[in-house]
Amino acid sequence: MVKQDLYNKSPVRLFDAATEGGLKEGGLGLVTSKKGLGKTSVLVQFGMDTLLKDEQLVHVTFDLHSSNVISWYDGIFAEIAKKSAGNSAELKTDVVSKRTILNFSLDNFSVTKVVNTLKALSAAGIAVKGVVMDGIDFTKVSEDDVKAVADYAQSEKVTVWTSATSEGAKLADVVPANLEKYFDVVVNLAQTGSNVAVDVLKLGDKKDVESGLKLDSKTLLISK
């Protein structure tokens, strides 16, 4: 079992195929949905994809128990590893060695603090290539905050995925109008019968791109 094999079999390859290569280097992406539909699973899949490319990942969380985040990565890795033969335990140790988890309390959270910490990691020689930030509340962040994250992604050539809870299903409902321009890709997870559809609401200049993707009901992996 090698990383390249798992990378090739990652569910993110399905997302890339459906979205002209997915989120590009230096881009800012957003995953939205109602609570409990799988936002964290999708973010972790994007994060795991960075690790499988043998690149440095930072996972920003507001859950003060890092064990919960680690469990998500363990679960996603185990599901992807089922598709390949070999020593998955040894490979997982190598893969997650490039993961950094940053815990922030919502009581003293600020986007500026997160961005400054990410820049400090780069200054310390950690070549961060991917960032996932689980849970942004648009009622508590300003346009300057979102612009700061987008500017960081672009200047450092880092791929940044974040998420937000939303009751809506259209682009205008899930992203405030003044913030839409900062996001290169916007994905909304929507319950459709017994399935959770992966709807691409924005892809560069395109809107409402048909992806044909959903989340597997058992594993929550991106699937067709």
Q: Could you report how far apart the first and last alpha carbons of the chain are, in Å?
A: 25
pLDDT value, residue 57: 97
Q: Compute the mean pLDDT over every residue in the chain, rounded to the nearest whole number.
A: 92
- Residue 135's pLDDT band (boundaries 50, 70, 90)? confident
On the 0-12 / 13-18 / 19+ scale of CB atoms within 10 A, 64 is exposed
Q: What percent of the chain has pLDDT over 90?
A: 77
pLDDT in tens, 17-35: 999 999 999 999 999 999 9
pLDDT value, residue 107: 74
Residue ranges and CATH numbers for the domains of the chain are 3-223 (3.40.50.300)
pLDDT value, residue 1: 59
- Residue 182's pLDDT band (boundaries 50, 70, 90)? very high
pLDDT in tens, 34-89: 999 999 999 999 999 999 999 999 999 987 678 889 999 999 999 998 877 666 78
Rg for the chain, CA atoms, rounded: 16
The sign one gets for the Cα dihedral 175, 177, 182, 184 is positive
- Residue 105's pLDDT band (boundaries 50, 70, 90)? confident
